[in-house]
Amino acid sequence: MAKNVDDEIEVEGDDEEEEIGTHVEFDIATYPSDLTLGVIHELWKDKDITVPSFQRSFVWNIKQSSLLIESFLLGLPVPQVFFYIDNESKNLVIDGQQRIMSVIYFFEGYFGPENMQGRRAVFRLTGLSEGSPYVGKRFTDLSSQDQRRLKGAVLRAVNIKQLAPANQSTSMFHIFERLNTGGTPLRPQEIRNCVFHGQLVEVLHELNEDVDWRTILARKPLDKHQRDVEMILRIFAMTERGDDYEKPMKEFLNKQMKIHAKSKGSSKIERFVERFGEVTSIIVKQLNPKPFHVRGPLNLAAMDSVMSVLIRQPNKIPKDLKARFEKLLVDDKYRNAIFFNTSDASVVKERLALAEKYLMS
């Protein structure tokens, strides 16, 4: 898969600023637990602690991890971690991945994941002060007393569990978003990749490299914050659930990811994949270049309405699509619906209805 990335795509009809102050309510229980590192290691081996997969994986260097291990050995305070307790009572790490994985790696004896050759570096404590008694030592090199001290060292975890609404467990997105305050904070789609990991994440990334899709975007490099991936998710959500859309847009997209997070071989996903390719090909062949750059930047509202309507009935797309599309773009009501208050439910439904009327009737 290509890894070429560049700055973010310039867009309008974006809902991020419109949704500032949008309130989402959840009933959440929060409680602390003091876990020994030995217990954390056992939970990890039993897969009761998991780190949701997303692009930013383990990034600490061996010195950072070594200093953390030494802090435990010396009894120095270490920042707490945050677990999200899912419906299967598994502990998903939403903050503290670097600390937890450093501990796991040290107990295992190898630092970091395997390289391209399938090899792993031996984890020897590195970068400590010259007077430290732990310099250059692996876990197995520690005295029995130090091994017990390390296994018995405590790491405080803050456990978060959503109580209600029971069927819409998207709170982890909002919690992660609040805790996501590092040097380079993750953007919404990057967070979704983490907390709603599953088949849909892989599918969205594959579709993002579709040649016709890149032509429609008028952009070859992949967006470094995955705004282009989010656009495909938005089209998918509008295709499947546009008639039931409710504000805010961010939460609408979260729910779409949640619905399909555990899907394997989902017929709805497979159908969307097939139709997405058909429709992007038709758009490139029949419409003018950059069809959704209505007045300069890419207009997300025009894109989501037109593409979702076409994807719903790809076999009924008329041969005079270009003429119909041009008429749609000059309709005053449609223009209002793609330029103003674009995340309001009434506006979303109006632009979908107008796109349906002009393009498919």
Q: Which residues, in sequence order, are bridge partners of residue 298?
A: 11
Report the residue count for the chain: 361
344 shares a domain with 212: yes
- Say whether both 205 and 231 belong to one domain: yes
**225 part of a folded domain:** yes
Say if 201 falls within a structural domain.
yes
State the amino acid at position 333 in one-letter form.
Answer: K
Q: Are both 286 and 237 inside the same structural domain?
A: yes
Q: Which of 171, 196, 213 is the last residue of a domain?
A: 171
Same domain (yes/no): 224, 142: no
Within a domain: 354:
yes
Structural Rg of the chain based on CA atoms: 24
Q: Is residue 66 part of a domain?
A: yes
Cβ 233 vs Cβ 257: under 8 Å: yes
State which of 107, 139, 171 marks the end of a domain: 171
In a domain, 16, yes or no: no
What domain range includes position 133? 27-171
pLDDT digits (tens, 9 = 90+) for 109-130: 999 887 777 788 999 999 999 8
Residues 85 and 205 in one domain: no
pLDDT at position 81 over 80: yes
> How crowded is residue 36: how many other Cβ atoms within 10 Å of its Cβ?
14
| Nearest partner of 351 among 286, 273, 294, 296, judged by Cα | 294
Q: Render 258-297 in DSSP notation, one character per residue.
A: HHTTT-SS-HHHHHHHHHHHHHHHHHHHHSPSSTT-SSSS
Residue 216 sits in the same domain as residue 332: yes
Q: What's residue 168's pLDDT?
A: 54
Q: Which residues pair with 157 in a beta bridge?
A: 33, 81
User: Is 176 a domain residue?
Assistant: no
For residues 163 and 201, membership in a common domain is answered with no
The answer to whether residue 116 sits within a structural domain is yes
pLDDT tens, 35-78?
Answer: 999 999 999 999 999 886 543 567 899 999 999 999 999 999 99
Cβ 233 vs Cβ 163: under 8 Å: no
Report pLDDT digits (tens) over 139-169. 999 999 999 999 999 999 999 887 765 555 5
Domain total of the chain = 2
Q: Which residue has the tokens 């974006």?
A: 14
Question: DSSP string spanning 144-166?
Answer: HHHHHHHHH-EEEEEEEEEEEST
What digits encode the pLDDT tens for the residues 83-118? 888 778 888 887 888 999 999 999 999 998 877 777
Same domain, 242 and 299: yes
* Of the residues 139, 171, 203, the one at which a domain ends: 171
Phi/psi region, residue 21 (left: phi>0; alpha: psi -120 to 50; beta: rest), is left
